[in-house]
A and B are shown apart, each in its own frame.
Chain A
Amino acid sequence: MLSYGTYLLPGTLKEALEAVATLPPGGRVLAGATDIVPYAREGRGGDVHLPVVVDLSRVAEFKGHQVGPGTVRLNASLVFQDFLEDATLREHLPCMPHCAIWFADDQVREQATLAGNIANASPAADGVPPLLAMNGMVELARLEGREVARRSLRLDDFIQGPGKSALAPGELITAVTVESMRGYGGSFQKVGQRRSLVISKVSAAALVKTDPSGTRFEDVRLAIGGVGPVPVRLTDIEAMLNGQPITRRLVAEAGAIPADRVASRSMVEYRKRVVSGFVAAAIEDALVACGAPMPTDADREEAHV
């Protein structure tokens, strides 16, 4: 079971950074708390006592999002439910509603933050593939003396391995800034052991923009998760598709490639089989979302390679 001594609810970034700078050993920063409580149970962390908790959910600067020229800044307290409910976010981040709906369930989405998902650096983190596809930049803050110092890192530089990130002691994620993907079709695919509340075995995010005639790929963004130590962008497949006429066969060929990328420590064969059809499905769904006709079963059958 989880127990704690001091529980801090800082209201400002400065207060939060001060609390984090003086966090004693065993102290813990949390946001939604949806991971730490299940962790502190028999068979995982067992009885966990946290002498100090810094709960970031009331930091004023962490609330909401800002749309800039060509970018969207997602502040640290943004929760997954926001991607379903906020019309602005849906418009600018068209793959995120698909990602969010496959993430946990309504109750957990109300608490779980995108920043927390990144900070945990799980190989299966659902939030990471779409952020990679949107060229996400992680903004970090720490105290230098009495001043707030900030830096930004590309998301793929921030996440370094399973559970490992570039977050330095005393540092907090303040926001993730992504490119606005307005006008793209977005999709997210996920396979796990049940529909709701499941850790992904494999996930994939796709964002697709076609030329005005809708017959040629103009810009494709693809990323997969759960198949190795960190989620990865599939830049070679993107390059193979960009500028090409849209055909089912091309999509199927592209989908077959990522099977070789599976570098997980478990269920490798299963993941390989899943991931191929999966990336093709992600591209197809994204095409449908930007107006392409729904592929029929016969189409899929014909294009199967």
Chain B
Amino acid sequence: MSDNVSDRKLSMTVNGRKISRPMDGNYRLLDFLREELHLTGAKEGCGAGECGTCSVFVDGKLVKSCLMPTAKAEGAEIQTVEGLAPRGELTVLQRAFHKTGASQCGYCIPGMVMAATSALRANPFADIEEIKERLGGNICRCTGYTKIFEAVELARDILNGQIPATALDAESAGNSFIGNNVRRLDAPSKVSGQLKYAGDMIMPDMVHMQVLRSPHAHARIVSIDTSRAEALEGVACVVTAADVPGIDGFGVFVHDQPVMAREKVRYVGEAVAAVAAETVEIARQALSLIDVAYEPLPGLFDAEKALEPGAPVIHDYAPDNIVKHIPVRKGDVAKGFAEADLIVENTYTTQQVEHAYLEPEAGLAYVDHDGVVTVISPSQNITHHRHMLAEIIAKPINKVRFIMSPVGGGFGGKEDMIYQGMLALAAMKSGRPVRLIYSREESIATTAKRHPSIVTYKMGLTKDGRITAVTFRMLADGGAYGMSTEGVMRKAAILSLGPYDIENCTIDTIGVYTNNTPSGAFRTFGGMQAQFATESHLDICAEKLGLDPFEIRRRNMMVPGSLTHTRQRLENVSIGQVLDVAESFSRWERGAPTSRGATRNDLGGPDVRDACTLGARFREIVENKSKEVA
């Protein structure tokens, strides 16, 4: 008998049922629950014990199942989110999550429900600080946690009989959903772990994909030899750019990105080849058998350098490395600066930012009985993806289908078709359903980010703070491929000056190619970078002029009838109200930024978060002791 644990059957009690199954390569308890028992309520968000979405009870203790070797759980009693309530029912806590709207994308929610269940089991009277502390091992990227905490407090009070269970019922929406508390239709499936994200789906005969990625930022591909990988037992197929039958290019605006690197690689982590195999383990082994010969090329990592003559060219079609330049002109800037009493110049830079949605990229592709190439993925742009894929695989549009699986957080990061093409090619080549799930590391290293930007500002102002002219130049690092850069540059140009009425302005937003990780869509789509520059600049100008920062904004804000730099005549403008509310809520002390009153009104209010402390669950004990001694 082999002592290899993978061949042995493991016995456990899972959600009250005794099971005995081979481990079959599912080395972590999370994999065993998901792949062997099909309990996909526990999700993988990070695989490193950081995010908590894989939380399950093992012998009554909440653990992160991504950290637990399956064999460690031999003989244990396991409870997953699916086992909290009888089938078709929800616990009070799950219903509270439904009621408060605590689930948005839902991907963290099974783990949140488990952690909250554990918190109330440990202390049914836990106060809000203790609840927060006990949920500290779980990450949510959508809610800001507030609605989750509300749900836990609501459930606690109902379970303790302090408020009636009817508080969980739907409220009447009256004549309008606006202004009324409406429960989400999809919440029950999320709080119970029933909702299937792409990575939760399985099909008969399905194979698993792993991707070989470029170690070079910029290199010519001399050759790719996949023969050893293809010969490995258990490999269904290997795909490279050579398998693309149609026009190999995708992108939200310019179709400059091949499904997998073609002729050269342009960033570290770019897909070069992909393997579909019986198991993830075999697919990974096959990756190590693919031989790629590279000839390194000079790399380009700085957006300013991209514009210099003689800079390495990333795409032949764009010898100047410019993805998109959006110029906007209004009025007479020279005249405006001549009228100014003060000219303030400054540069503002922002960094690359990762979306960090809890659900890493995942997809499942197959070719159906009618030869329709079908891709299931959390795509934020399925219709566009469908049209692009039809061109890439040279099929009529009626032979390509995209199914949008629930998006476990997108924030713009799932607008680009970065892996769906590989899946389709592998499904076509192998004739089998193919599933790909990114690791968190892969997701962070290889998918699009927020554009890093450099904004150069020049502003002319009169002594009383009226802006006479602006030149605004944003240089954004688009990385190796165009993706959403064109749209982001356009939006950045439109939003550049914020809600301020400026007569004379020159605006340029320029997105360039480099060998950095591609930049793509990310919440605000260029607005954040522009506003960071504009609002910071106004504060600095206020300081130089000795003006209250609210006042300088009020003197320049748009009003009904203002003409924007893009020639839009505004009918309604709310910036005045926004400033009033911001000023009163922040308990702003009037005056120039350099002034400071005797007391700080902004600190210590009921809406101000205290400094980070921990220990709510034993603080009471210490405080009591403290009194005793005193």
Contact = CB atoms under 8 A, between A and B. Distances in A.
A196 B629 CA distance: 32
B578 interface: no
Interface residues of A, number: 43
Contacts of B626: 288-289, 291
B72 interface: yes
B612 interface: yes
A66 interface: no
Given A97-B618, A106-B118, A288-B626, A41 B441 contact: yes
B625 interface: yes
Contact of A110 (B27, B61, B618, B628): B61
Contacts, number: 127
A214 B626 CA distance: 12
B136 A195 contact: yes
Contacts of A29: none
A6 B3 contact: yes
B1 to A, nearest CB: 12
B442 A90 contact: no
Interface in A72-109: 81, 84, 90, 97-98, 101-102, 104-108
Nearest to B72: A55
Given A5-B5, A197-B49, A105 B136 contact: yes
B27 A34 contact: no
Interface in B72-113: 72, 74
Contact of B137 (A4, A42, A196): A196
Given A43-B441, A106-B118, A106-B136, A33 B67 contact: yes
B629 A197 contact: no
A7 B48 CA distance: 21
A200 interface: no
B258 interface: no
Contacts of A98: 615
B69 A2 contact: yes
A207 to B, nearest CB: 14
A37 B66 CA distance: 8
A33 B69 contact: yes
A289 B63 contact: no
B69 A55 contact: yes
Contacts of B71: 4, 7, 9, 53, 55
A111 interface: yes
B332 to A, nearest CB: 49
A53 B615 contact: no
Contacts of B137: 104-108, 196-197
A47 B286 CA distance: 13
B384 interface: no
Given A1-B281, A90-B621, A101 B629 contact: no
A57 interface: yes
B63 to A, nearest CB: 5
A38 B49 contact: yes
A197 B626 CA distance: 29
Interface in B341-379: none
Interface of B: 3-6, 25, 27-28, 47-50, 52, 55, 61-64, 66-69, 71-72, 74, 115, 118, 133-134, 136-138, 280-281, 284, 439, 441-442, 445, 612, 614-615, 617-618, 621-622, 625-626, 628-630
For the complex of A and B, the 5 pairs showing the least CB-CB separation, nearest first, are A105-B137, A291-B629, A7-B71, A196-B136, A38-B48
